[in-house]
Structure 1
Amino acid sequence: MTSPVQLPELPDDGLSGIFDGTVPPGVYRVPSVGPEALLQAQAENWQAAVLDLGGVTDKAGFLDACASGLELPDWFGRNWDALADCLTDLSWWGEPNGYLVLTSGWPDFERAAPEAAEHAAGVFAAAVGYWAVRDAPLATLLG
């Protein structure tokens, strides 16, 4: 059995730290994702979306969840490269102060499809790196 991807927990400063720049944007594990995170992102003028991974057990289900949860453009090809392309071209999300991807159900998805979860985490990490040197950073919270 594949072990879970080694990702850091969100530091104590949490979302506030990401928004004020004291915590670097990244891919972080969180115990859970609640509606307060969306409200906090909106207050900071960050574009945020929630990927509901409840019941997702494979790559196809994950990519479908991304298409709907992130409201990806029609040209999204439902493969890893297309997801990477979409996450580095967030033009359909406007021009906020930053971007926040929240997932719910990550631990169950990771247990059901460890290889797909590892690949998804890698795509998120690459996108975070892409946005790290731009005016609007990207952070991903896996809960």
Structure 2
Amino acid sequence: MSPAPVPRPLAAVLEGNTPPGVVTWPAGRPAADALTAARDAGWAGALLDLDGVADTSAFMERCAEALRLPSWFGRNWDALADCLTDLSWCPPTRGRLLVLSGWQGFAAAEPEEWRIAEGVVADAVAYWRDTETGLAVVLARGR
């Protein structure tokens, strides 16, 4: 059985037909499928699973671990923004995909902090948009 086709919004980004941005992922489809599609397209990918994260401190720790952020990461919003706009610690590829899963619990527990997180991610996507190695983000509803 062949894998299900990549949803059109992500496929368009990976194919270079649409600028990288923040795209949603179908509920019930494994987030790992987005990473597989990215790797198949020559993109680097990382999964940030926020399941069980209920505060900013845990969010920052999860970012540090899952994204293998550099030692200078200060575990605050400004430092996260710096890491996502200075990707010298992440080898360049055709593009970079960040998949966020399990984020709904954090968004519900800390709505203001989630809005900041969304802003940091959106700013990083915009920063890399017109480069040869764009950054795209998938907001996955499942795991």
Q: TM-score, normalised by structure 2?
A: 0.86
Alpha-carbon distance, 1:42 to partner: 1.1
1:92 aligns with 2:85: no
Q: Give the equivalent residue in structure 1 for 2:24.
A: 29
1:141 to 125, 138, 142: 138
Q: Give the equivalent residue in structure 1 for 2:58.
A: 61
Residue correspondences, number: 132
Q: Mind listing any 5+ residue stretches in structure 1 that lack a counterpart?
A: 1-11
1:126 aligns with 2:123: yes
- In 1, Cα distance between the equivalents of 2:112 and 2:26? 21
Q: Give the equivalent residue in structure 2 for 1:106.
A: 103
Aligned partner of residue 95 in structure 1, secondary structure: coil
Alpha-carbon distance, 1:26 to partner: 1.3
Q: Mind listing any 5+ residue stretches in structure 2 that lack a counterpart?
A: 1-6
Q: TM-score, normalised by structure 1?
A: 0.86
Give the letter for the 1:14 counterpart. Answer: P
Q: Give the RMSD, CA atoms, in angstroms.
A: 1.4
- In 2, Cα distance between the equivalents of 1:124 and 1:27? 8
- In 2, Cα distance between the equivalents of 1:21 and 1:96? 13
Alpha-carbon distance, 1:119 to partner: 0.2
Give the letter for the 1:19 counterpart. Answer: L
